Amino acid sequence: MKNEISNIDKAITVISLKDLNKSFDDLEVLKGIDLEVYKGENVVILGRSGSGKSVLIKIIAGLLQPDNGHIKILGQDVAQLDIKTLHALRLKIGFSFQSSALYDGMTVWENIEFPLVRNKRNLTRKQVNEAIDQVLDDVGLRQTVDQMPAELSGGQKKRIGIARMLVLQPEIILYDEPTGGLDPITCVEINRLIKEVQEQYNTSSIIITHDLTCARSIGDRIVMLADGKFLKQGSFDEVFSTDDSRIRAFYDYNFILDQ
């Protein structure tokens, strides 16, 4: 993978959330969320389990609907789009599932091929093969091409999940707990891969995590979510230079010093 310098363009907002609210019965999960993500930026949203992180990312991905509020993605008001336009927009958004969500009955090659041939039917066989080869090279797993998901390690599954997403060349990537369940060394490798994807593909990303090492490694901006609201945002040091007991407690409990 090429090592290029990522450029954040604050003149271009790729995701805009205004007064986003979401409840499940009597439980308020999101309470007036406002957020802007700029082109080329990695935004990390931190929070404890149950803080609303996963609900927020699923709303952005279109997997859940907010109760109210406004969502603009790549300059388009999501609520105003017809089905065809909404589908085209969603193809520009990659979603990296916490579980990797690979198809157990397909090889690595078939897992990556499936979304490509389903969504870009005008490609030739040569173009399909070249695209799959490229993303496998980019995640460093060309040798796994004929393996089944059950034969892969947890870190390899994460990488193949990212490759399957990259094959559609998304402009925006949503990562749900990308280092969840991985050992410390593999976490470092996945963090490095996320930065490399940002640099090569010039993607804009939201990363949902409770892993502070991950946040510090890959976040251009950190946003702290608690009780359905954003408490503070800025650089890693700016967010955690605070007397707010909710933020300090999260830091003290979760942070793992680099070895």
The whole-number pLDDT of residue 258 equals 44
The whole-number pLDDT of residue 5 equals 46
**Helix axes of 154-166 and 184-201: crossing angle, nearest 10 degrees:** 10
Region 21-27 average pLDDT:
94
Q: How confident is the model at residue 3 (pLDDT cuts 50, 70, 90)?
A: very low
Q: Are 194 and 178 in contact (CB under 8 A)?
A: yes
Whole-number percent of the chain with pLDDT over 70: 95
The whole-number pLDDT of residue 171 equals 96
What is the maximal distance between C-alpha atoms in the chain? 58
Pairing of strands 93-96, 172-176: parallel
Region 248-252 average pLDDT:
83
The whole-number pLDDT of residue 6 equals 52
User: How far is it, in rounded angstroms, from Cα 70 to Cα 66?
Assistant: 9
Select the more confidently predicted residue: 147 or 50: 147
User: How far is it, in rounded angstroms, from Cα 71 to Cα 87?
Assistant: 15
Instruction: Record the pTM.
Output: 0.90
Mean pLDDT of the chain: 90
- Three-state SS at 139: coil
* Whether the predicted pLDDT of 162 surpasses 90: yes
The whole-number pLDDT of residue 39 equals 96
* Whether the predicted pLDDT of 72 surpasses 70: yes
Residue 176's CB is within 10 A of a number of other CB atoms, namely 20
Residue 205 CB burial class (10 angstroms; 0-12, 13-18, ≥19): buried
- Cα–Cα distances in Å, from 28 out to 16, 20, 62, 66, 225? 21, 11, 19, 11, 14
The whole-number pLDDT of residue 254 equals 67
The whole-number pLDDT of residue 259 equals 39
- For 95-113, write each residue's pLDDT tens digit: 988 888 899 999 999 999 9
Tokens of 67: 């109760």
One-character DSSP codes across 166-226: HTT--SEEEEESTTTT--HHHHHHHHHHHHHHHHHH--EEEEEES-HHHHHHH-SEEEEEE
- Residue matched to tokens 């363009």: 9
Pairing of strands 42-46, 204-209: parallel
- For 220-232, write each residue's pLDDT tens digit: 999 999 889 999 9
The whole-number pLDDT of residue 7 equals 80
Residue 214's CB is within 10 A of a number of other CB atoms, namely 25
Residue 146 amino acid letter: D
* Whether the predicted pLDDT of 199 surpasses 60: yes
User: How far is it, in rounded angstroms, from Cα 93 to Cα 139?
Assistant: 19
Q: Vertex 56, ends 55 and 60: CA angle to 5°?
A: 115
- For 25-43, write each residue's pLDDT tens digit: 999 999 999 999 999 999 9
Q: How confident is the model at residue 4 (pLDDT cuts 50, 70, 90)?
A: very low
In 3-state terms the chain splits into helix, strand, coil percentages (rounded to 5) of 40, 25, 35
* Whether the predicted pLDDT of 17 surpasses 60: yes
Instruction: List, in sequence order, every beta strand (DSSP E) within the chain.
Output: 9-24, 27-39, 42-46, 68-73, 76-77, 93-96, 172-176, 204-209, 221-226, 229-234
* Whether the predicted pLDDT of 12 surpasses 70: yes
- For 103-160, write each residue's pLDDT tens digit: 999 999 999 999 999 999 899 999 999 999 999 999 999 999 999 999 999 999 999 9
